[in-house]
Structure formats: C-alpha cells, structure tokens
Amino acid sequence: MSQYCPLCGKSKPEKWLFCTHCKEKIEKEYEVDVPGIRPEPEGKDVTGTGDVAERPRRQGVVELEQEEMAEARVDAVSGSRGGRGLVWGALLLLGLLLVAGFFYYGDRVRKGNLERFQWEMALKENSVSGYLAYMQAFPKGKHYALAEENLMRLKGDEAETWNRLQSSDNRTELQDFVASYPQSPYIPLVKKRLDSLTWVAVLNDNTAEGYSDYMVASQSGELPGDYFADAQKRFELLFQSYPVAPGELDTIRANVGRFFAALSALDAAGIVNCLAPTVFRFFNSAGGEREKIVGDLLVSGARTEAPTIQFLPNVAAIAYEKTVIEHYKVNVPLQKNYLEGGKQRTISGYIVQLELDREFRILTVTERKPFPDAV
C-alpha cells in the first residue's frame, strides 16, 4: 500500500487514504467526513495464501481508487481557484462602485461649489450682467428665480436712473451706471456725456499728462474719444520733447510770468519791456510796433473802470523748443478770469503760443482756445 498522499504527494500512514492535512481540507471545504483508514477490499488474501483469483479484482479497485483520488485532487484545486476568483471579482466590483461613487459625489460637490461662488459674485456685483451670467451658467440653479427677480428690478431702475443722470455732472455716477447696466440701450448716451464731462476736466487740468490719459481712455474704448484729435494736438504742444537747458527755461519762465502779469494789470511799461520792437502777431491782431500795440490795449482798457481779464499762466508746465536761428517757441497752459454780467468766470484750457527772440523778447502771441466761442 502507498505511503504517499494521492492529493499532495506527501508521506502518510500506509493504511490512511490521505495525509492529515488533505483529510482536514476535504472535510472543511466539502463538509464530508473522510475515513482515516482505507477499508480492506473483499476477497483479500488474509491467510497469506495469495489467492490469484482476487489479484486482478484488487488491482482494478486500486486503479479506480487512484483515478478517483486524482479527480478529487483536481476538483479540490479547481474549487479553491473558483472560490478565489469569486472573491476577487466581488472585490473588483466593490472597487468600481466606490470609484464611481467618489467621482459622482466629487462632481456634485464641485458643481455645488461653482454655483455658490457664482451666486455670491452676482450678489456682490448686483448688476444685470452679474445675474445674467449666473442664470446662463446654472439654468436649473437653486437661486435662478431670485436672480431673475433681481434682474427685473434692476431693469426697472435703469430708466429712472438715466433720467436723473441726463443733467448730472457727476462722472462717478455715470461710470457706476455703465458698470451696473452694461447692456443698457442708454449706454451710448451715458458714455457720450461721460466723454464730455471728462474732457472738461482734462481742459481744467490742461497738462500733457491729462491729455495723454484721455487719449489712452479713448483708445481702450472706455470713452468714445470725441475730442481725441484736439487732445493729441494739445499733448504735442505741452509735451517737453526738446532737451531742456535749465538756464534757458528759468529765463523763459520769468519773462513769460512778467508779461502776463503786466497784461492783466494793463501795465504799459511792463508790457513794453517784454515785447520785441516789432511784434508780428499779437493775439487776434496782425501785430506791428510794440508802442502801437500797447497804446491800443490802454485805449481798450480805458473803456472800463478796471481790467476785465486776468491771465494766469502755469509757468511750471511751460514747454519750449529752440530753433535753428536761436529763437524759442514756447507753449504756455493758461487760465483766464473775467467779468461777465457782473459775475466772475474762470475758464481753463487755453494754450498760448509764443515766439521769443535771442534776448527772450516776445515776437508773436497766439492762443488755442478751449472752445471756439471762448473769449
């Protein structure tokens, strides 16, 4: 009788069917009782005589038993593998379900966060465009109805606000209207008025930097730029492109300041000292001898009890250029104060253009007005 287990091939007691390990495994997995000792087959030669007639039968039984044991071993291995396969399949399915649930939950959380952020931004901005952006992004959002209600309320306020702003000089209010109602049909009118008010402020400032800022705002689309060409010309007049010699600039500033102070006071001697012997142009006149020009000024001033116009130059903002014949082309931003109907008026935005000779005496005086009918 074999001393090796037919399932695992390990050593076993000679009269046992299987080794102890295989016996326990079969009983556990198949829930059967496996006898430990192999039963003796019928017809066995128990007397030791060696009955030849029983040998073929015993040999057949042994071979059958061996085949059954082999099949049992294959079935056991297959059953074990099948059990492991089911376990791995279940684990894989569980993993897939967990991953799908994670992504589903993550997507819901992400969308919820985006909607909440968009809604908070719309509330903070409180504009037609803000509520429209939320409604377009989240047509089934939980705040959709409230967004629509707020939008309609703002639309109702739109016309009323514009009616009030038509006569407003407050640029900040107009800018706020553009921000609050970017799709409003009144936007072109609002921007046109904003452009006009901005231009008045730029004229009051009357500096190269102010005109430059206006041009930038026009080019960016912030303003319509109706005054762009004038701003460009004025910028060129006041921008100091010529290299500055400090001594020359100080002398020019001093002489220009004296001239306008004498002109405001109708000081004949002071005016004469600032003018060249021959003046080729003096404001609106064709020019002539300086004595004649001063005489005409005095006659004009005598018609009133006091000077009606005061000239206030911004000498710090003077721009100049030296010519090839060593003359000086000087541009001076200027403000005028004058009486009109018994009331004092102040108008900014004048640029007076002068030409000075080598001794810094004035040869020509012309001016660029802020608007055509300015004095």
Percent of the chain with pLDDT over 90: 44
Task: Evaluate whether residue 102 is within a structural domain.
Answer: no
When mean pLDDT is compared over 70-74, 152-156, 178-182, the highest value belongs to 178-182
- Mean pLDDT, residues 24-41 taken together: 62
Q: Which of 180-184, 250-254, 324-328 has the lowest mean pLDDT?
A: 180-184
Q: Which of 43-57, 186-200, 262-276 has the lowest mean pLDDT?
A: 43-57
- 250 alpha carbon, distance to own chain's centre: 47
Q: Is the pLDDT of residue 82 over 50?
A: yes
Q: Which domain holds residue 121?
A: 113-185
Instruction: Give the model's pLDDT for residue 47.
Output: 43
> In sequence order, what are the beta bridge partners of 350?
334
Please say whether the beta carbons of 7 and 13 come within 8 A.
no
- Give the number of C-alpha atoms closer than 13 A to the C-alpha of residue 130, restricted to the C-beta side: 19
The C-alpha R_g of the chain, in whole angstroms, comes to 54
Instruction: Give the model's pLDDT for residue 313.
Output: 97
Q: Is the pLDDT of residue 149 over 50?
A: yes
Identify whether residues 260 and 336 lie together within a single domain.
yes
DSSP symbol at 285: B
Q: What one-letter code names the amino acid at 208?
A: A
Identify whether residues 214 and 170 lie together within a single domain.
no
* 171-180 helix and 144-165 helix, angle to the nearest 10 degrees: 150
Q: Which residue has the higher pLDDT, 136 or 276?
A: 276
Instruction: Give the model's pLDDT for residue 286.
Output: 86
Q: Which of 24-28, 71-75, 296-300 has the lowest mean pLDDT?
A: 71-75
Task: Evaluate whether residue 373 is within a structural domain.
Answer: no
Distances, alpha carbon 140 to alpha carbons 46, 112, 134, 144, in Å: 93, 12, 10, 7
Identify whether residues 270 and 362 lie together within a single domain.
yes
Task: Evaluate whether residue 167 is within a structural domain.
Answer: yes
Read off the pLDDT of residues 191-218 as tens digits, 9 standing for 90 and up: 999 999 999 999 999 999 999 999 999 9
Q: Which residue has the higher pLDDT, 113 or 92?
A: 113
Measured distance CA(334)–CA(352) in Å, rounded: 7
Identify whether residues 253 and 332 lie together within a single domain.
yes
Identify whether residues 138 and 62 lie together within a single domain.
no
Read off the pLDDT of residues 329-366 as tens digits, 9 standing for 90 and up: 999 999 999 887 778 899 999 999 999 999 999 999 99
Place of tokens 């250029």: 321
Instruction: Give the model's pLDDT for residue 48.
Output: 45
Task: Evaluate whether residue 104 is within a structural domain.
Answer: no
Read off the pLDDT of residues 298-315 as tens digits, 9 standing for 90 and up: 888 776 655 578 999 999
What is the helix (H) or strand (E) element at residue 278, kind and residue range? Answer: strand 278-279
Instruction: Give the model's pLDDT for residue 233.
Output: 97
Measured distance CA(287)–CA(291) in Å, rounded: 11
What pLDDT band is residue 26 in, cutting at 50, 70 and 90? confident
Instruction: Give the model's pLDDT for residue 60.
Output: 52
Q: Which residue has the higher pLDDT, 285 or 40?
A: 285
Q: Is the pLDDT of residue 91 over 80?
A: no
Instruction: Give the model's pLDDT for residue 90.
Output: 65
Residues 6+ apart with CB under 8 A from 332: 256, 260, 313, 314, 315, 317, 318, 351, 352, 353, 354
Please say whether the beta carbons of 260 and 336 come within 8 A.
no
Residue 269: CATH number of its domain: 3.10.450.50
- Mean pLDDT, residues 264-287 taken together: 94
Task: Evaluate whether residue 212 is within a structural domain.
Answer: yes
Identify whether residues 76 and 144 lie together within a single domain.
no
Identify whether residues 223 and 174 lie together within a single domain.
no
Q: Is the pLDDT of residue 85 over 90?
A: no
Number of domains the chain is built from: 4
Identify whether residues 172 and 200 lie together within a single domain.
no
Q: Is the pLDDT of residue 71 over 70?
A: no
pTM (2 d.p.) = 0.59
What is the helix (H) or strand (E) element at residue 258, kind and residue range? Answer: helix 246-265
Measured distance CA(150)–CA(133) in Å, rounded: 13
Residue 343 φ then ψ, to 5°: -115, 145
Task: Evaluate whether residue 312 is within a structural domain.
Answer: yes
Percent of the chain with pLDDT over 70: 76
Identify whether residues 205 and 265 lie together within a single domain.
no
Task: Evaluate whether residue 213 is within a structural domain.
Answer: yes
Identify whether residues 359 and 275 lie together within a single domain.
yes
SS3 245: coil
- Mean pLDDT, residues 217-244 taken together: 96
Task: Evaluate whether residue 151 is within a structural domain.
Answer: yes
What pLDDT band is residue 150 in, cutting at 50, 70 and 90? confident
When mean pLDDT is compared over 65-74, 101-110, 161-170, 341-350, the highest value belongs to 341-350
How many Cβ atoms from other residues are within 10 Å of residue 311's Cβ? Answer: 21
Q: Which residue has the higher pLDDT, 2 or 136?
A: 136
Identify whether residues 134 and 220 lie together within a single domain.
no
Q: How wide is the angle at C-alpha 124 spanned by C-alphas 119 and 125, nearest 5°?
A: 100
Identify whether residues 301 and 276 lie together within a single domain.
yes
> In sequence order, what are the beta bridge partners of 364?
281, 355
- Give the number of C-alpha atoms closer than 13 A to the C-alpha of residue 310, restricted to the C-beta side: 8
Q: What ranges in 166-245 are assigned the alpha helix state H?
A: 171-180, 187-205, 208-219, 228-238
Q: Is the pLDDT of residue 72 over 80?
A: no
